[in-house]
Amino acid sequence: MNISPSPKQPRVSWQAAFSMLMYIFMYLPILVLAFYSFNNSAYSAGWQGFTLDWYRQLFADERILLATKNSLLVASCAVGIAAVFGTLMAVGLARYQFPGKGLYKGVSYLPLIIPDIAIAVATLVFLAAFAIPLSLWTIIAAHVVFCLAYIALVVSSRLTNLDSHLEEAALDLGATPTQAFIKVLIPQLMPGIIAGCLLAFILSLDDFLIASFTSGSGSSTLPMEIFSRLRTGVKPDINALSVILILVSAIVAFIAESIRIAGDKKHR
């Protein structure tokens, strides 16, 4: 019986080729940006030699340092507040029943799907209606809104993999509900809380629209400072700053995902 040989499979399938093209399309601009951040030319028009002067100039720029300080303060305060309320919200929605729970759950996660421009305009109208002066604290209040939703979402996904019988066992052994929550549930949720906080921190650090609508005089954040400088053209120091922001965001996102995965494996 003769069996005809099967046709040779192509070494590179069209799916792999398409994926490669998509990666090139997404990451080639970042590589070009990083390349020109070391360019000795002040206008990035052509390569004129390797230099680190733009990075040195960046770390000596007082406006950049002040904007970075403001961004870190906003992100830290917003994430700290959202971590507490986001965790409580996720636990309450997962473990308790109350009237209007479905409606409340839908409203709680609306910031995840509403465009940033809508949140920015709505927050500005709210602040104007109550005559609240714009400052760094109004940016923090606005950032708490979407940080809360992101942290609650990550913690909720963590809750689905936990054994609720551990809390019941703690209660049977004489622990109060508060003690069971702090000593049993919170340690199990900690990987999800940390991962959610890191994700929210990066989103807050990178936000431009909401911050620009809710900031007052002298409360410029780092994305706002970058945008104001881009109006006169892209300079190599902005390229250097963008490279640093990309690296920091990637590192924090990698740490958050590693913590989440490690926590899931530990409690399986």
Tens digit of pLDDT for each residue in 140-170?
999 998 899 999 988 888 887 777 677 778 8
Element (DSSP H or E) covering residue 225: helix 222-230
Rounded to whole angstroms, the Cα distance separating 155 from 157 reads 5
Residue whose structure tokens are 């109004």: 138
- Token couple for 144: 């708490």
DSSP structural state of residue 11:
S
Residues 6+ apart with CB under 8 A from 50: 38, 39, 40
- Per mean pLDDT, which range of 7-16, 20-29, 127-136 is the poorest? 7-16
Rounded to whole angstroms, the Cα distance separating 193 from 160 reads 14
Q: Kindly indicate the confidence band of residue 252, based on its pLDDT and cuts at 50, 70 and 90.
A: confident
Q: What pLDDT is recorded for position 141?
A: 92
Q: What pLDDT is recorded for position 267?
A: 57
- What's the predicted TM-score (pTM) here? 0.79
pLDDT in tens, 183-240: 888 888 888 898 889 889 989 988 999 999 998 877 889 889 888 887 777 777 888 8
* DSSP strands (E only) in 1-47: none
All structural domains of the chain, each given as residue ranges with its CATH number in brackets, are 12-51 (no CATH), 60-266 (1.10.3720.10)
Listing DSSP states for 109-178 in one string gives TGGGTS-HHHHHHHHHHHHHHTTPPPSHHHHHHHHHHHHHHHHHHHHHHHHTTS-THHHHHHHHTT--HH
SS3 50: strand
Rounded to whole angstroms, the Cα distance separating 127 from 217 reads 15
Q: What pLDDT is recorded for position 91?
A: 87
Rounded to whole angstroms, the Cα distance separating 207 from 213 reads 11
SS3 45: coil
